[in-house]
Structure 1
Amino acid sequence: MELNQIYFYTASIKDWTSLLNTDKFKLIVLDSIIHLVKKEKIKVYGFVIMPNHIHLIWESVSMNGKEKPHASFMKFTGHQFLEELRKRDGGILERFKSEDGNRNYQFWQRNSLPIKMYDKKILEQKLNYIHLNPLQAHWNLVSDPNEYYYSSCAFYEREDMTFDWITDYRDAM
């Protein structure tokens, strides 16, 4: 992903495991995003954290040391997932055992999907898609997308400033 470009980004937990089902793991993702925003490494225009994947509309603003921010995000959250699972493991950690010689565990699938946002209309379509994600029949997490806490929907629809670190896309495009 290039710096100073807005992307729609999807990352899935390995084998579509519902690791993000509990708030503890969702908060690891959220805290990592907030940390990178506060360090001015990324801007986030929209997000949703689902039980087994995340969608972000974000922009990498500057390198995080020698890494691009998305790489730091994936690495940090993976380390935090490992630490948390070691504390509470009920056998789930074995699902993430890696055959890769570079690592013992892998939490994110390797095929994260970044799609460059070239215009406002496409960005709005993707934002609408992620905000409606919790309502899909196979998830059925809420009946009103504004009620799903781990989403930027209420930021846009209700001007809810719970996530005041979100950058309004209308100010960027």
Structure 2
Amino acid sequence: MSIKYKFHDPGAIYFVSFAVVGWIDVFTRSVYSDILLESLTYCRKEKGLNLHAWVIMSNHVHLIVSSREGYLLSDIMRDLKKYSSFRIVKEIRESTIESRKEWMLYLFAKAGQQNSNNKNFQFWRQDNHPIELDPHLNMFEERIDYLHNNPVKAGWVTNASDYLYSSAIDYEGGKGLIEIDLLV
């Protein structure tokens, strides 16, 4: 059963989370994180995505996003997930050094067989719940702090801005791996 993105207000800013099927720790390898960053960058430049904050954890992603006028966030997110899943699975399939290759491909294939929307592999879980952020309730700051502190809570870094695959450094005046649209 497909659970569609529900972006009710096209002009709103949303907190969105999505995870790898089976919560597989795919993003422990930078090559896969870099593919996702390329996809985010492309969607920012070509698909109308405003990327306000982001973090890539080992098996899931948190974003704070909106869309530019004339674009639908649901379409952007669909395309982002579709393309990134295709590229990451392709990279895994063609890898000569990925020690978890057979195991991951088996789980992606099994998830794909259980989903009538897929023909072969399913990389991303379909369940997610975009949360519209109300600027009057300090929701931006709360969600940005939550998102950026995920690697700290996981024990990977002491300071949020030290985590490479996050926009935390951008909010401290530095320059991260990809360009973002700051909220503050």
Q: Could you say whether these structures have the same fold, taking a TM-score greater than 0.5 normalized by the shorter chain as the test?
A: yes
Number of residue pairs the alignment of both structures matches: 165
Q: Which residue of 2 aligns with 1:125?
A: 142
Q: What is the rounded CA distance, in whole Å, between the counterparts of 2:164 and 2:170 in structure 1? A: 10
Q: What is the rounded CA distance, in whole Å, between the counterparts of 1:79 and 1:150 in structure 2? A: 20
Amino acid in structure 1 at the alignment position of 2:94: K
1:75 CA displacement: 0.4
On the 8 A contact 1:60/1:68 being kept in 2, the answer is: no
1:63 aligned to which of 64, 71, 78: 71
Question: Which whole-Å deviations, capped at 9, do the CAs of 1:122-147 have from their partners, x for residues lacking one?
Answer: 111000001110011xx211111111
**SS of equivalent residue, structure 2 residue 130:** strand
RMSD: 1.7
Q: Which residue of 1 aligns with 2:183?
A: 169
1:30 aligned to which of 37, 45, 56: 37
On the 8 A contact 1:155/1:163 being kept in 2, the answer is: no
1:92 CA displacement: 1.7
Amino acid in structure 2 at the alignment position of 1:94: Y
Q: What is the rounded CA distance, in whole Å, between the counterparts of 1:164 and 1:4 in structure 2? A: 23
Q: What is the rounded CA distance, in whole Å, between the counterparts of 1:150 and 1:161 in structure 2? A: 12
1:41 CA displacement: 1.1
Normalization by structure 1: what TM-score? 0.88
2:46 aligned to which of 39, 43, 47: 39
Give the gaps of 5 or more residues in structure 2: 1-6, 96-100
Q: Which residue of 2 aligns with 1:6?
A: 13
Q: What is the rounded CA distance, in whole Å, between the counterparts of 2:135 and 2:116 in structure 1? A: 41
Matched, 1:20 2:27: yes
On the 8 A contact 1:48/1:130 being kept in 2, the answer is: yes
Q: Which residue of 2 aligns with 1:153?
A: 168
Q: What percentage of aligned pairs have identical amino acids?
A: 25
Q: What is the rounded CA distance, in whole Å, between the counterparts of 2:178 and 2:31 in structure 1? A: 21
1:168 CA displacement: 1.2
On the 8 A contact 2:47/2:71 being kept in 1, the answer is: no
1:20 CA displacement: 1.2
Question: Which whole-Å deviations, capped at 9, do the CAs of 1:98-131 have from their partners, x for residues lacking one?
Answer: 1224321111111122100111511110000011
Q: Which residue of 2 aligns with 1:106?
A: 122
Deviates further, 117-126 or 145-154 = 117-126
On the 8 A contact 2:162/2:169 being kept in 1, the answer is: yes
On the 8 A contact 2:17/2:60 being kept in 1, the answer is: yes
1:90 CA displacement: 3.8
Amino acid in structure 1 at the alignment position of 2:13: I
Q: Which runs of 4+ in 1 moved over 4 A?
A: none
Give the gaps of 5 or more residues in structure 1: none
